[in-house]
Amino acid sequence: MIKRRLAAGEVLVGSFAALGSAVAVEALARAGLDFVIVDLEHGAGDESRVLPQLLAAERGGAHALVRVESTARERTTRALDLGAEGIVAPRVDSAAEADAWAAALRYGAAPGARGVALGTRGAGFGLDPDALDRRPLGVVQIESPAAVAACDGIAGVDGVDVLFVGPSDLSYALGCFRAWDHPELRAATARVVAAAHGAGKAAGTFCPTPAQVPAAIDAGFSLIAVGTDVALLVAGGRTIAASI
Amino acid sequence: MIKRRLAAGEVLVGSFAALGSAVAVEALARAGLDFVIVDLEHGAGDESRVLPQLLAAERGGAHALVRVESTARERTTRALDLGAEGIVAPRVDSAAEADAWAAALRYGAAPGARGVALGTRGAGFGLDPDALDRRPLGVVQIESPAAVAACDGIAGVDGVDVLFVGPSDLSYALGCFRAWDHPELRAATARVVAAAHGAGKAAGTFCPTPAQVPAAIDAGFSLIAVGTDVALLVAGGRTIAASI
Amino acid sequence: MIKRRLAAGEVLVGSFAALGSAVAVEALARAGLDFVIVDLEHGAGDESRVLPQLLAAERGGAHALVRVESTARERTTRALDLGAEGIVAPRVDSAAEADAWAAALRYGAAPGARGVALGTRGAGFGLDPDALDRRPLGVVQIESPAAVAACDGIAGVDGVDVLFVGPSDLSYALGCFRAWDHPELRAATARVVAAAHGAGKAAGTFCPTPAQVPAAIDAGFSLIAVGTDVALLVAGGRTIAASI
Amino acid sequence: MIKRRLAAGEVLVGSFAALGSAVAVEALARAGLDFVIVDLEHGAGDESRVLPQLLAAERGGAHALVRVESTARERTTRALDLGAEGIVAPRVDSAAEADAWAAALRYGAAPGARGVALGTRGAGFGLDPDALDRRPLGVVQIESPAAVAACDGIAGVDGVDVLFVGPSDLSYALGCFRAWDHPELRAATARVVAAAHGAGKAAGTFCPTPAQVPAAIDAGFSLIAVGTDVALLVAGGRTIAASI
Amino acid sequence: MIKRRLAAGEVLVGSFAALGSAVAVEALARAGLDFVIVDLEHGAGDESRVLPQLLAAERGGAHALVRVESTARERTTRALDLGAEGIVAPRVDSAAEADAWAAALRYGAAPGARGVALGTRGAGFGLDPDALDRRPLGVVQIESPAAVAACDGIAGVDGVDVLFVGPSDLSYALGCFRAWDHPELRAATARVVAAAHGAGKAAGTFCPTPAQVPAAIDAGFSLIAVGTDVALLVAGGRTIAASI
Amino acid sequence: MIKRRLAAGEVLVGSFAALGSAVAVEALARAGLDFVIVDLEHGAGDESRVLPQLLAAERGGAHALVRVESTARERTTRALDLGAEGIVAPRVDSAAEADAWAAALRYGAAPGARGVALGTRGAGFGLDPDALDRRPLGVVQIESPAAVAACDGIAGVDGVDVLFVGPSDLSYALGCFRAWDHPELRAATARVVAAAHGAGKAAGTFCPTPAQVPAAIDAGFSLIAVGTDVALLVAGGRTIAASI
Ligand SMILES: [Mg+2]
Ligand SMILES: [Mg+2]
Ligand SMILES: [Mg+2]
Ligand SMILES: [Mg+2]
Ligand SMILES: [Mg+2]
Ligand SMILES: [Mg+2]
């Protein structure tokens, strides 16, 4: 369904969940986020905490995505079995890598790589007649110069729905760390967006704060993750500490 | 040590931890809070999550308090055995109640009610020669008209270090729910602060947002809890959702 | 909403969740149960596992109730803060006990006993303008001869929506343990149902297996809990073991 | 079965489990302990961690007891439903208190107070035909002068199998804290042992280290708990630290 | 010991544990299952929940196996260190793969690949003098046409004790998804059984319900896993829901 | 900081934490250990339990290291994001392997392989201006003849601070299992120490008990891990069991 909303051109705003807390995720979802990305790459939570967070996001009315720690097949299939609506794959540098990873989004043998176990939560506990045909949202992070160079190929991969620019790693690699307006970063970003759109896919990115969102929309992004729950607490704590 | 800081007249600002998340607590502590109150009365966490939160608060440089669910002896002694530096007791309506509760802050038989088990974390794992003599911070919530009426007596109770006005429950009972400037609420609040100061104790209260802190300081409060981690996430989530 | 369904005369069937497992609860809910009762009286789970189970029940389309371990105020208010849609109170023997307990279902001072903390999950994270006025479903277990004798009074208590016959304890006390058709048990049961209906309330009960459900409906029960998740596993395991 | 061993005059040695760790409990059990007491009064674990520890003790070949935080009925019935083979009740000061508590060890109405729920682990998941008749080991801590004075009456209470001297609290109350050889402590201890034996019950106590065990046996104790898992780690850690 | 029972030709029936719940596992074991397979490939639990489930299976009298998520060395050695009596490896397609994986079942350098750490639970906490020589049960899933083609070679691998047909994935790959009586599936299955028996190994498979067990025994299978705990709950829940 | 202490030639003594228990870790740390190694290779805990153990070690005044299960990049970066001060990598057999692994200790693109996410605990929640430049302690286990042969090359790898001899695996491979004084083991050990010192790095090793520590210091080791928390409990339990 998030797949359909993005395909229809809708702009969605969400955040990363780095605490590993279901309460935090539901609070964010009820506050109005369109999606939450449970972060298993850099978040403090881990796979043992994914399920309650998925439940919490869904109950709060948000799409529940998972950022896996790597493109290893099992990390993606486990998150899908738990019921993630989509997967964010970090550090994808080539179309071949994207293609190999995307197989894990599909059931069965090649081009699928996901075991056909229909009793899982992700398959509706065996009660969903359409389980085999559902396709989760596939999001690929573009966060290196190599990935930018390969972005047209990546965008063409079946199963990849969103090219997601990771601006921290990309800017670091480009030598302009967190200089969000640096021309090289902007050029790379524009190239990724163009590749995504050219292939009929969506583009996504990370904004440190809500202030960057309008510019991200202008730049053509439609899956926009703003900060993390941890960052909201740090910012809030600083304001509290400064009130004295 | 928080006891000594309050006794010395220092003003301390902190927050309630309602998520039950150690990561959240450490983030808030590192952001500069003086103290964190792990909330077992209304928070989503429970006793099974207290210990990591205490560790996190302390590592982050904040005093670690626990708000227990009631004045029942075991709730307080359990939190102290886990190493809480102080206890916040809700819904105390009389000096007798305060006195009965405060016994749980002291080891041994009457006037103490805490079992002499020195191997606990709260007693330094048997390695702290002064464990028996340490006194945790005792905070009593004043949140009903009866409690306001009894506040002088409560302030005089040995072991009670802070009278903490609970403005939500108190204003609700006074018929002026969350009308922070209502004269009746202000009068009740002033009376509690005066009782605390008259007995050489500190006064504390809850502020929904940092904006109320300066007024709280002016009113004589020195232990000021601002919002909760959950509320920071709701506010942050709303800002993110509104950015689109 | 379960309140409204029962008030409208709907018959609802559910089960007790004794595993403490959110996955189990969601599986049962998706299989078609109208409600799940997270069991903190005899279940293997405890309060630290309630929240994911509530999320799971709701996500699966079932009403999420909690059976608390006793009528102690904090057990009920904690479950409500976590978001339970209703509370099942065990071992209530008199109208006075029911009345004292039911206060915990309402916010504020007498006749309420629930602290006015609106940032909790149960109050919609501060985002639900009607939170203060919501009333959870109040279910009282009638499981002793004394309770049967007092059932008219209990049925009249404000906040009690359902009189729930506990047939195991009641039959044991009547000396006809699990003799479901024993005349004394039937007479007691009928008296409770009549008391409930006489006061415009619903009647509920426990059926060990689905086979007893039609008779329970005939007897006037409309909140019918069938077995437990653990019992389903034991029965299933026995069938598997016998297949060899 | 531990009941039978103590009744047969066997001397059993065990320890308190204060870490809340199933691995720790199984390691201790496999090392040869006769019993482990999962400590919910002063231990760092809580009820959410009891079940794995019971499994671990049993698998390791040790009897699995639980020390509850207080004599409140629910604390004991919960531990029994989880499958504890016996309960250690702290701070019992009179025969009336012991009697009221012991009711929770028996199913049914007075003199029982335990709900007849036979699907629990403690009742063999509904598969144990003798569940209703089983009686757990009842251990009562004698740790105040009042309790010593009342020990004959306490020893006579049906359901109390062991009078367990708590030497830390008792010596503290007698003004001879941890002076294990103080004549007043010895006299009180001897009186408790005599009361137990006089009523045909066993006597138990706590020894800080194994060195005190022979004297405890000589003094007539047969349920002897030596230290805690935490204390073993502290002692071991000090030896490691001193090796450099 | 399960190794010896299978080698002796015994037929064993069990189930997959997909909930990640120790209570569920013990309930199934006590109901009479010969073995339980803790499922880390498609189950909702994960490695953090394995230990209590192993304890529960063993306490309930069942052999405790673990299905790992993949043949990666660490997944198998971790499960063995926790004390699994055997490992089920999914998606093995060749003898080389089986051989590489089976090295993880043995201590030491090639042909072993398991670190010699004898303090683990799997090695008896350092108290088992035979730990180094124990060999866990090695079960390899045959669930692709390639695996069927390679099954003679796989059956010959040292350390592989059971060839386990995964009928869902295999039938899907053969184009006859869950058509259990499809001739192609039957032929493939027969070939695997023959290969196993030819090499003096056992054959195993999965049956969705107990009704298929007799046929599976007839077909030569002796390690027969029937359904999952989750599936039992779904089936039970549907029966409950249909009772109204 | 542990980096600096070792570089300054200090000898540090610690232990492995195999229980996965934060309480155990803090108890060991407060007892005087210089460091604790949270063991994810052979310990019973897993990544979901790392964070509280790191907090506990730090609070207890010990350096907090993590032994990862393998040299896979994600295992190291996850532990660093959680805040480990150093990483112990098992089973490294060549300089190339060490070099590939060590990249995960550094942020950014080659020669770094760690994603630049500065909001993690390991990066000070975004509040540490020097986060990008910090270098964790890199410890490489030398536990095979191949590794001994390659130790000069391994010692030269940038990011490797300590060569840590794993005497159990190494002696097993050399055919002199746990014969700590076997000449072949001693020769291999001496060679590793010489290689470490030759490259200006430290040498570390494991001692089963404190008795071996002085000899280890004499042999040139300065990062000395003595036993495990589990082993301390087994030894302690045996002493208790023998006291009767
Ligand atoms: Mg499969
Ligand atoms: Mg005591
Ligand atoms: Mg209040
Ligand atoms: Mg009952
Ligand atoms: Mg090794
Ligand atoms: Mg990145």
Mean pLDDT for each 10-residue chunk of chain D (244 residues)?
A: 97 98 98 98 98 98 98 98 98 98 92 92 97 96 98 98 97 95 97 98 98 98 98 98 95
The phi, psi pair for B6, rounded to 5°, reads -70, -40
The verdict on E94 touching A (C-beta cutoff 8 Å) is no
Q: Is F110 on the interface with A (CB under 8 A)?
A: no
Mutant choice from C51, C53, C55 vs A, greatest count of A C-beta within 10 A: C55
Give the confidence band of A109 by pLDDT, cuts at 50, 70, 90. Answer: confident
Nearest chain E residue (CA) to C207: E240
B124: left (phi > 0), else alpha (psi -120 to 50), else beta?
left
C108 pLDDT tier (thresholds 50, 70, 90): confident
Which pLDDT value is given to residue B37?
A: 98
Q: F146: phi > 0 → left, psi -120 to 50 → alpha, else beta; which?
A: alpha
Any E CB within 8 A of C215 CB: no
The number of CA neighbours under 13 Å toward the Cβ of A51 is: 26
Which of C27, C28, C241 shows the shortest C-beta gap to E33? C241
**Distance (Å) from CA E170 to ligand 1 centroid:** 8
Q: Which chain A residues are within 8 Å of E18, Cβ to Cβ?
A: 119-120
Cis peptide upstream of residue B111 (ω within 30 degrees of 0): yes
Q: Do E127 and D30 touch (CB under 8 A)?
A: yes
What's the whole-number mean pLDDT along residues F9-31?
98
pLDDT at A108: 86
Smallest CA–CA distance, residue C212 to chain B, in Å, is 38
**Tokens, residue A86:** 């989509």
Centre of ligand 4 from the C-alpha of residue C193, in Å: 18
| Predicted local confidence at residue F120, as pLDDT | 98
Q: Is F132 helix (H, G, I), strand (E, B) or coil?
A: helix
Dist CA A130 CA A123 (whole Å)? 8
A239 pLDDT exceeds 90?
yes
Query: How would residue C160 be classed by pLDDT, with cut points 50, 70 and 90?
Result: very high
Q: Is there a cis peptide before residue F111, judged by omega within 30 degrees of 0? A: yes
Q: Across the interface, which of F42, F172, F230 has its CB nearest the CB of E108?
A: F172
User: CA of C33, closest CA in chain E: separation in Å?
Assistant: 5
Q: Check if B59 contacts F (Cβ < 8 Å).
A: yes
Residues B184 and B192: beta-carbon distance below 8 Å: no
pLDDT in the model for residue C109:
78
Q: How confident is the model at residue E109 (pLDDT cuts 50, 70, 90)?
A: confident
d(CA E212, CA E218): 10
For residue A36, give both structure tokens: 């939450």
- Report the separation in Å between the CA atom of F121 and the middle of ligand 1, taken as the mean of its atom positions: 37
Asked whether residue E223 carries a pLDDT value surpassing 80, the answer given is yes
Other CB atoms within a 10 A radius of the CB of residue B111 amount to: 12
Q: CB distance A230–F119 less than 8 Å? A: yes
Rounded CA separation C30/C58 (Å): 10
Query: Does chain B touch chain F (at least 3 C-beta pairs within 8 Å)?
Result: yes
A41 touches chain F (CB under 8 A): yes
- Euclidean distance between CA atoms C139 and F187, whole angstroms: 75
Residues A42, A63, A182, A197: which is the catalytic one? Answer: A42
- Give the pLDDT of residue E67: 98
Could you tell me which chains touch chain C, where touching means 3 or more CB pairs under 8 A?
A, B, D, E
> What's the rounded Cα separation, in Å, for the pair A197 and A193?
6
Greater confidence (D89 vs F244) lies with D89
What lies within 8 Å, CB to CB, of A206 at 6+ separation is A16, A164, A165, A166, A167, A168, A224, A225, A226
Distance from C-alpha of E41 to C-alpha of E168, rounded to nearest angstrom:
14
pLDDT digits (tens, 9 = 90+) for E138-173: 999 999 999 999 999 999 999 999 999 999 999 999
Beta strands in chain C (DSSP E): 12-17, 35-39, 63-67, 86-89, 137-142, 162-165, 202-207, 223-228
Report residues near ion ligand 3: CB below 5 Å.
B 143, 166, 169; C 115
Alpha carbon of A129: minimum distance to chain F alpha carbons (Å): 34
F172 and chain E in contact, CB less than 8 A = yes
pLDDT digits (tens, 9 = 90+) for C60-78: 999 999 999 999 999 999 9
User: In the E/F pair of chains, how many CB contacts fall below 8 A?
Assistant: 50
- Band of pLDDT at residue A110, cut at 50, 70 and 90: confident
The position carrying tokens 């259990």 is E180
Q: Which of F37, F207, F233 is best to mutate for the D interface (most D CBs within 10 A)?
A: F233
Ligand 2 centroid–CA E162 distance in Å is 54
CA A117 to centroid of ligand 1, rounded, Å: 7
Half-sphere CA count of C93, side-chain side, radius 13 A: 9
Q: φ, ψ for residue C194 (rounded to 5)?
A: -65, -40
F177 touches chain E (CB under 8 A): yes
Which chain D residues touch F239 with a CB distance below 8 Å? 210
Per-position b or e across B208-220, b if 16+ CB within 10 A of its CB? bebebbeebbebb
Reading the block at residue F170, the tokens are 């190494």
Ligand 5 centroid distance, CA of F143 (Å): 6
What is the per-residue burial (b if ≥16 Cβ within 10 Å, else e) of D43-52? bbbbbbbbbb
Q: Which residues surround ligand 1, an ion (CB under 5 A)?
A: A 115; E 143, 166, 169
What does pLDDT average to over chain A?
A: 97
Nearest to A118 by CA among A102, A110, A107, A105: A107
Nearest chain A CA: its distance from C233 CA (Å): 16
Contact F126 A234 (CB under 8 A): yes
pLDDT at position B83? 98
Low-confidence ranges of chain B (pLDDT < 50): none
Encode pLDDT of C115-128 as tens digits.
Answer: 999 999 999 999 99
Q: Is F69 on the interface with A (CB under 8 A)?
A: no
Could you count the other beta carbons within 10 Å of the beta carbon of residue F212?
Answer: 19
Establish whether the linkage from the previous residue to A90 is cis, with ω within 30° of 0. no
CATH for D2-241, options being 2.60.40.420, 3.20.20.60, 3.40.50.720, 3.40.50.150: 3.20.20.60
pLDDT recorded at residue F126: 97
* Crossing angle between the packed helical segments B229-241 and A229-241, to the nearest 10 degrees: 110
Is-contact B65 B38, C-beta < 8 A? Answer: yes
Chain B positions in Cβ-Cβ contact with residue F27 (cut-off 8 Å): 125
CA atoms within 13 A on the CB side of C243: 30
- Ligand 1 centre and the CA of E207: distance in Å? 13
Burial of F1 (0-12, 13-18, 19+ CB in 10 A): exposed
Closest Cα in chain E, distance from residue D53 (Å):
9
Are E127 and F18 a contacting pair at CB < 8 A?
no
Q: Taking the CA of residue B240 as centre, how many other CA atoms within 13 Å lie in the half-sphere pointing to its CB?
A: 34
How many Å lie between the alpha carbon of B58 and the closest alpha carbon of chain D? 17
Paired tokens of B64? 């670690």
Between CA F68 and CA F141 the distance in angstroms is 11
Write the single-letter amino acid at B234. Answer: V
A in contact with D (at least 3 C-beta pairs within 8 A): no
pLDDT at F238 over 90: yes
Q: Which residues of E are catalytic?
A: 42
Task: Note whether F58 contacts B: Cβ–Cβ < 8 A.
Answer: yes
Q: Do B177 and C120 touch (CB under 8 A)?
A: no
First to last CA, chain F: 46
F110: pLDDT strictly greater than 80: no
Reported as a single tens digit per residue, the pLDDT across A119-174 is: 999 999 999 999 999 999 999 999 999 999 999 999 999 999 999 999 999 999 99
Q: Is the peptide bond before D129 cis (omega within 30 degrees of 0)?
A: no
Express each pLDDT in C197-234 by its tens digit.
999 999 999 999 999 999 999 999 999 999 999 999 99
Q: Check: CB of residue B216 under 8 Å from CB of residue A9.
A: no
User: What is the E118 CA–ligand 6 centroid distance (Å)?
Assistant: 39
| Residue written as token pair 């063991």 | F39
Q: Per DSSP, what are the bridge partners of residue A163?
A: A140, A203
C-alpha neighbours within 13 Å on the C-beta side of residue A128: 18
Q: Does A227 touch chain B (CB under 8 A)?
A: yes
List CB contacts (< 8 A) between C173 and chain D: 108-109
Instruction: Quote the minimal CA–CA distance from B40 to chain C in Å.
Output: 9
Q: Could you state, in order of their start, the residue ranges of all structural domains in chain D? A: 2-241
C172/D109 CB distance under 8 A? yes
Mean pLDDT of F15-38: 98
E58-73 residue pLDDT tens: 999 999 999 999 999 9
Q: Could A237 and B232 be called an inter-chain contact, meaning their C-beta atoms sit closer than 8 Å? A: yes
ipTM for this model:
0.98
| A/F interface, count of CB pairs below 8 Å | 50
Residues of chain C contacting B19 with CB distance shorter than 8 Å:
none
- F11 C-alpha vs ligand 5 centroid, how far in Å? 22
